[in-house]
Amino acid sequence: MAADSYEDIAVDKGDVIPALEVPPQELYHAKSFWTKWIFCQDAKVIGIQYSITAIAIGLVALVLSWLMRLQLGFPELFPFLGAAEYYQFVTMHGMIMVIYLLTALFLGGFGNYLIPLMVGARDMVFPYVNMVSFWVYFLAVLVLVASFFVPGGPTGAGWTLYPPQAITSGTPGGDGLGIILMLISLSIFVVGFTMGGLNYVITILQARTRGMTLMRMPLTVWGIFTATVLALFAFPALIVSCIMMTLDNLLGTSFFMPAIVEFGEQTEYSGGSPILFQHLFWFFGHPEVYIVALPAFGIVSDLISVHARKNIFGYRMMVWAIVIIGGLSFVVWAHHMYVAGMNPWFGYFFATTTLIIAVPTAIKVYNWVITLWRGNIKLTIPMLFALGFIVTFVNGGITGLFLGNVIVDVPLSDTYFVVAHFHMVMGIAPVLVVFGAIYHWFPLITGRLLHEGMGRFHFWVTFLGSYAIYFPMHYLGFVGVPRRYFEMYDSEFMAVSTNYLNQFITVVALIVGFTQILFLYNIITSSKFGKKADKNPWKACSLEWRTPEVPPTHGNFGKELPVVHRWAYDYSVPGATDDFIPQDIPASQVPNAEVEKT
Amino acid sequence: MRKKQSIFQLLSQKPWEPEQAKLDDLHDGETLNLSKGKLGLRFIMFVSTIFFCLFIVTYSDRMIYADWQQMPEPFMLWFNTLTLFISSSVFIYIQLSAKKNDFDKVKYGLIIIGFLALIFILGQLFVWNQLINLGYYVSTNPANAYFYVFTTLHGIHLLGGLFYWNITLRKVWYPKNVEINKSKHTIELCAIYWHFLLAVWVVLFGLMIFS
């Protein structure tokens, strides 16, 4: 294919675009240990603070999952673990993993670290607000953790916190402080997130470096940007429902609480609508899936492109798909409520929209696969995790098509099939991307590589182990094993083989869980003793690898900001000397490179 | 260099095409012709609007149930609404004075805004007191609950506004030559937020009166 050379696309008088000068006074400068490492306004440090906090609370959720699995596999092992504790663990595990780990890690962690670097900015536009955002998040985590130590313990209402049971006394934590602390913690989280979201959106829209058009941005930034916009629409629904339920609980209002008899006594509630809570919750809850998934989509696109040494296939389609998925995610929420007794016509509508969302999602999957097609694939650890993500996401997505249909969902809704589905699609798949991203950007953050052997072991045990855990759960669901039961031993309506399967799943879950401890060990030791990395070890094109110093220092780009001359995917360009052309390299420096077509 | 583009034109760009690259190389990296402060304020107002809209949706859902009993409308609420209208008018006056660099008038105007805000908050508390004395408690009826929730949330937004009003007042009180434009910008943002507070209250008050 005859192609124009890059020389032709240089600006008329050579590459003389002046760099953008940012006056030094606009940058925040830390003056003490406290302002440099604790109350820091540098987005990179804030990103790391978010990540450490999220991973720490995620470990709590991991331990809770072990206890739950031990209870399910070996019900007589822990006499102290009864139904109440089991439900408390389920609730806290779910809420922590979805909100306090994944949302905080993708947006607060990766968002803070990568956005300014990838768009060529020195920092977020409102650094002080950004710092406050982290501490408000930290406070939300503390309030959540506090609920473990109050009388009655944390709430055991299930992560969806459905009323009326969430605030009635039969539910663990329902008549004590447990549920109140959960609602307060969620409200604080939303306030903190809004502060962070303000920074992510405005930095991406207004503080990009010269030449960085929206359509030249890496897909990671597109994913984080769209997810943040979704969160701005969705999180208000969460805080509204939290405020109303708190009032129902503390002041005796009846927003969600119907007239109800509790332990033989008529309560003072009357006329409230529990279904209204469900609508509000899922108006937040379904976009939340994409708030987690879209950054993962973006990051995995970049990982695949970098490690397959090929430009991402259908960049524009990838952007459109992210935006369309984001839009559609607001009109599918009631597919979580097929069994809630709503009008069947609603179910018909929401089943249709749910199936439609598979179209842009499938486009993304095809584009990832086509990007790999005839690429110079390097099976690095980030690439392994990216490949693992594609397979897992396809698996989880396909079971989603099953459950999106009302007639299939109704019999499967309360079984382990659903547990398998959502863990595959929004548990394991995004977590694989988190791991891939950490292996990919660890050299940028620390200047060192993670240990290769431990990394590969971590991947294979996590990937295969996840399948050993969740594949059998589909089977359990099909044979009718119900979810939410804390003890299933000797249940007459279940085959004995389901018990063996539960024991097998428990053993594998423990192995996979302990492998994550090995991963943390790898992070801690490699950050100090790991092999020193080159400045751009993966030979990536995007700007985060183009800082004068790696790890990037305060202000990111030294004296002058980079000027962008191309998109972030110029890999294996015919005619170019190297197999990558970074975004800030002008056409004059790669005279023989040919224009790519995609 | 930026041309006005629709979102569809923007998303249709082919960044790898030579012609597009020539344009892209000259792009200054800003998407909208807005200051970061203004965009930030719009962002906050946007999130708040969604927040109140969701409350309004739940209000319209809840009010169709049989137990809903409309509350009385104390006259004081009209007085409070008038206070907010006057605040917005004073802010227009402040903005005009700032344009003419007449910062003495701006100072007086901002102090009046503070007083009006205080009167509004006290007025709302007075209404609460009146209703409680009449036996309209928060848990008595969902309509009462919504009234107290709406007034509280609007009040919290007003307190947030007062925080920013304090920053604005300080900038005007201790002027520095280099920061005059920044002060004007801050005044403008504060004014926009106050108009927003008025709009939110008018919608909430209207909803409670006419439903």
pLDDT tens digits for range B99-118: 998 888 999 999 999 999 99
Tell me how crowded residue B97 is: count the other CB atoms within 10 A of its CB: 18
The pLDDT value recorded for residue A234 is 96
A489 phi-psi bin (left φ>0, alpha ψ -120 to 50, beta other): beta
Residue from the list B16, B24, B30 with its beta carbon closest to the beta carbon of A211: B24
A178 Cβ contact partners less than 8 Å away, ≥ 6 residues apart = A88, A147, A150, A152, A153, A154, A155, A156, A172
- Residue A173's φ and ψ, nearest 5 degrees, are 75, 0
Q: Are A254 and B11 an interchain contact pair (Cβ–Cβ within 8 Å)?
A: no
Which CATH architecture group holds B36-209? Up-down Bundle (1.20)
Written as one letter, the residue type at B74 is P
Q: Which of B7, B24, B45 would you mutate first to test chain A, the one with the most A CBs within 10 A?
A: B24
The pLDDT value recorded for residue A482 is 92
> Is B17's Cβ below 8 Å from some Cβ in A?
yes
d(CA B127, CA A416): 53
Q: Which residues of B touch A214 (CB under 8 A)?
A: 10-11, 31
Mean pLDDT of B77-98: 95
d(CA B84, CA A340): 43
At A266, which helix (H) or strand (E)?
strand A265-266
Cis peptide before A164 (omega within 30 of 0): yes
Task: Judge whether residue B195 has pLDDT over 60.
Answer: yes
Among A215, A219, A209, A199, which Cα is nearest to A120's?
A209
Name the residue in chain A with its Cα closest to that of B138: A253
Q: Which residues of A touch B61 (CB under 8 A)?
A: 273, 276
Tell me how crowded residue A577 is: count the other CB atoms within 10 A of its CB: 10
CB contacts under 8 A, A 383-412 vs B, are none
Are the beta carbons of B91 and B195 closer than 8 angstroms?
yes
- Alpha-helix runs per DSSP H in A267-357: 274-308, 315-328, 344-356
**What does the block give as tokens for A205?**
């829209």
**What does the block give as tokens for A181?**
């602390």
Query: How many contacts (CB atoms, under 8 Å) link A and B?
Result: 157
Predicted structure pTM score: 0.93
H helix and E strand count, chain A: 17, 2
The pLDDT value recorded for residue A12 is 44
The pLDDT value recorded for residue A2 is 35
Burial category of A56 from C-beta neighbours within 10 Å (exposed 0-12, middle 13-18, buried 19 and up): middle
Judged by DSSP in three states, B143 sits in helix
The pLDDT value recorded for residue A4 is 39
Are the beta carbons of A284 and A238 closer than 8 angstroms?
yes
Are the beta carbons of A535 and A550 closer than 8 angstroms?
yes
Q: Where are the domains of chain B?
A: 1-33, 36-209
Q: What is the complex's ipTM, to 2 decimals?
A: 0.93
> Is A588's Cβ below 8 Å from some Cβ in B?
no
User: Which ranges of chain A have pLDDT less than 70?
Assistant: 1-26, 489, 595-598
Written as one letter, the residue type at B43 is F
CA dihedral angle for residue A60, residue A65, residue A67, residue A72, rounded to 10 degrees: 170
The pLDDT value recorded for residue A373 is 95
Mean pLDDT estimate for chain B = 91
Are the beta carbons of A245 and A187 closer than 8 angstroms?
no
B187 Cβ contact partners less than 8 Å away, ≥ 6 residues apart = B94, B95, B98, B106, B168, B172
> Is B13's Cβ below 8 Å from some Cβ in A?
yes
Q: Are B149 and A243 an interchain contact pair (Cβ–Cβ within 8 Å)?
A: yes
**Better pLDDT: B174 or A310:** A310
Residue from the list A9, A232, A252 with its beta carbon closest to the beta carbon of B22: A9
The pLDDT value recorded for residue B21 is 87
The pLDDT value recorded for residue A310 is 95
Residues in chain A: 598
The pLDDT value recorded for residue A71 is 93
Q: What is the pLDDT of residues A111-152, one digit of tens each?
A: 999 999 999 999 999 999 999 999 999 999 999 999 999 999
The pLDDT value recorded for residue A11 is 41
The pLDDT value recorded for residue A20 is 57
Chain centre to alpha carbon of residue B181: 22
